[in-house]
Amino acid sequence: MDRKAAKRWFVNGNVQGVGFRFFVQDKATTLGISGWARNVDDGRVEVYAVGSANKLSDLAAALHVGPRMADVRSVEEQEAKIENLSGFTVR
Number of domains in the chain: 1
Structural domain includes residue 41? yes
Structural domain includes residue 90? no
pLDDT in tens, 49-82: 999 999 999 999 999 999 999 999 999 999 999 9
Residue 90 has pLDDT above 70, yes or no: yes
pLDDT in tens, 9-60: 999 999 999 999 999 999 999 999 999 999 999 999 999 999 999 999 999 9
Residue 1 has pLDDT above 60, yes or no: no
Task: Spell out the residues 6+ positions from residue 63 whose beta carbon is closer than 8 angstroms to its own.
Answer: 9, 11, 24, 47, 72, 75
Which residue of the set 8, 12, 14, 39 is catalytic? 39
Beta bridge partners of 4: 52
CATH number for the domain that contains residue 38: 3.30.70.100
Say whether 3 is catalytic.
Answer: no
Which residue of the set 12, 21, 68, 84 is catalytic? 21
Question: Quick one: pLDDT at residue 86?
Answer: 93
Residue 38: give the domain boundaries.
4-84
Structural domain includes residue 91? no
Say whether 39 is catalytic.
Answer: yes
**How would residue 2 be classed by pLDDT, with cut points 50, 70 and 90?**
low
Structural domain includes residue 38? yes
